[in-house]
Each structure stands twice: as structure tokens, then as C-alpha cells.
Structure 1
Amino acid sequence: AWLYRILTNTYINSYRKAQRRPQTSDDQDVEDWQIAKAASHDSNGLRSAELEALDGLPDQQILDALDGLSDEFRQVVLLADVEGFAYKEIAEIMGTPIGTVMSRLNRARKQLRKQLVDVAGARGIGPRAGQVDEEDLGRSAIARRAGREG
């Protein structure tokens, strides 16, 4: 976990450094595809780790919902639900107490649930918008977990 934290901090530092530096080009005729390609890479010429992880997610609405989260919430969701780290490992990576990780993950999942319930209802996956409240969503999640464990 400490190695992952070092890599995360290194990436964050290089990303921030690249953001402060203006984009330059030797050629006056820069085309749109070149700009898009440059935007999807970090200052080392590699694709950002966040973009790689997000490409593994299935849908644009999910990506939009993740973008709507604060940085702390997004990071904990990506580490827990995309990367599969345990709470203890996430706490070490983020340098926060395990209780903070648990509460951030809970709050982030609630926010995602609120944002995505309409999308799921429109696709016929879950209840339609306005047909369910937060308590029902929590109960259905508990029931799913109990079914997996039992």
C-alpha cells in the first residue's frame, strides 16, 4: 500500500506541475486531434492512471456521476470499487484514518446512488425516478449483500 501511495503522490505532483505549465507547440498549425491527444496524456507522455481506470467503467453516465463527486470522494470510490483495495489499504494510501475512509465511501456511494437511480430507472434496471427513497435503496443494497454472503 505504501508503494501505491508513493505512486499516487508522484502522479498528483506531476499532474499539478503539468497543469501549471502552459501547453506549447513548435508548429503554428495545430489541429484538433493533436490537442485532444495532448489533453489525454500527462507530462511524461503516458496516459493518466485516472483515465485508464475510468475507461474500465461501462458507461458515460457513470463517468459523469463520478466527475460530480469531490476529489476525496472520487478517489476513495476509485480505490475501493474500481481498484478493489481494502479499507485499511485505502487509509494508508490516502493518509487518513480508516473511519474517514469508511464515511467518505458511504457518502460517495449515496451521492452516486442518487445521481444514477434516474438513469437505471430509464433503462428498466431499477425503479423509476421518484418511486424509491434513500431508505429503500439502503435496504435493497443490504439484501443484495446478504444474498451474496448467504
Structure 2
Amino acid sequence: MTSHPGHGRQPCDTELARRFVDSALPLMSQLHSRARQLTRNAVDAEDLVQETVLRAYIGFNSFADGTNMRAWLFRIMTNTYINGLRREQHRPSEYLTDHFTDQQLGARDRGQRSAELDALDALPNTELADALAALPEQFRLAIYYHHVEGLRCREIAEIMACCEGTVVSRLNRGRSRLRKLLQSAQPSAGVKGPLTG
């Protein structure tokens, strides 16, 4: 016989699968939207959603009731995407060298960007993306999740595995640094908008 967690017995696989589907299915359009923003490619977005759902399903037995499912899935997706970018960075490039001159082969890019910086390329404003990329990761992620994804501080705290007060602090400090970076990029223009308050 099976029961819910907390009653001393573990749910059976069928019940766990049903609970997962009931929780995840209503969020699929949001997952697809987020994946398209990250990958900027429909095929890669579909792969990312499938990988995210698979990882979430495998780990669903550790999902605590009462936890924000959307934040949990977004965290899995973001981590999966960034890990995929890192794998790509470490994979040797494959080229058909018959089509390149010796000079072109020697001019290969020597530096590699971080996976987080590649994810920021999805932002439309290059000055903003550059300023965000210059922020320490803890501030950059808090600002990204709050202002781009529209998540609440509580959801961000779950994703970043910290307390809500820490998120508020990171948002305030990150906004302040971002404001300074943007003002130094365009000293004659004042920064206005959602980051000013």
C-alpha cells in the first residue's frame, strides 16, 4: 500500500508519475517559452525542454511538496542549458579543413566565453547585455530572474538556494552596480526604467 510522503510510506511509481504530470503539464508552455529565449532555436528549445522534463521526472521523488514547481523546473532548465553550453565549449571544433587557408586556420578564436555570457547574448540591448555580463554572477542571476523572467524574490531564492533577504540584497546591490556601469557607458544619458527602483 502507498501513501503520501510524510506518512511513513513512499508513493508508488504510478502515483509519483501522476503527481509529476499533474504538476508539470500546466507549465509546459512556460518551459517552451523559456527554452526558446535561451536557445533562440526551435529544435534546440525542444531538446532543452525534453532534457529538463526528463531530469525533473528522475528527480521528482526528491521534490518537496509545497515547493514552487515552476521555480524548480526553471532552475533545472537553466542549469541544463548552462551545462550544455559548457560541454560545447570543451568539445573540440570540427571543421573540414580543405575549405580554409592556413591563415584562416591560424586565426581561430583563442578565448572562450563563459556559458552565462552566451546566455546573456539573448538580450536585445548590447549595452545592457555587456553591463549585465560585467556583474558578479550572484547579482547578474538575481537581476535576470527578476527583471527578465519576472520571478518573485521567493521564487528566485528557491532557484538560487538562498534566503529571500539575500535575493533582495543581491537585487539592490546588482541594480546599483548595473546603473553605474550603464551610466559610465553613456555618461550623458540618465538611466531610467525598471532598474531604477
| C-alpha distance in 2 between matches for 1:28 and 1:66 | 40
| C-alpha distance in 1 between matches for 2:133 and 2:160 | 19
- Report the RMSD for the aligned CA atoms in angstroms: 3.0
Q: Give the direction of change, closer, same or farther, for the CA distance of 1:30–1:5 in structure 2 (3 Å limit).
A: farther
| Residue equivalent to 2:130 | 64
* 1:100 paired to 2:166: yes
| Residue equivalent to 1:135 | none
What is the one-letter code of the residue matched to 1:78?
Answer: Y
What is the one-letter code of the residue matched to 1:15?
Answer: L
* 1:81 paired to 2:142: no
| Residue equivalent to 1:116 | 182
| Residue equivalent to 2:28 | none
Q: CA deviation at 1:49?
A: 4.8
- Percent identity, aligned pairs only, is 40
Task: List runs of 5+ in structure 2 lacking aligned partners.
Answer: 1-70
Match of 1:9 among 48, 65, 79: 79
| C-alpha distance in 2 between matches for 1:112 and 1:21 | 33
Task: List runs of 5+ in structure 1 lacking aligned partners.
Answer: 43-47, 127-140, 146-150
Larger radius of gyration: 2
Match of 1:23 among 83, 93, 108: 93
What is the one-letter code of the residue matched to 2:92?
Answer: P
Cα deviations by residue, 1:16-58 (Å, 9 ceiling, x for unpaired): 21122122213442599xx99xx9xx9xxxxx65432x12xx4
Answer whether contact 2:135 2:174 (CA < 8 A) is retained: yes
Answer whether contact 2:121 2:129 (CA < 8 A) is retained: no
SS of corresponding position for 2:141: helix
What is the one-letter code of the residue matched to 2:94?
Answer: T
Cα deviations by residue, 1:80-129 (Å, 9 ceiling, x for unpaired): 11111100111111222212211111111110111223455513x46xxx
Normalised TM-score (structure 2): 0.48
Answer whether contact 2:120 2:133 (CA < 8 A) is retained: no
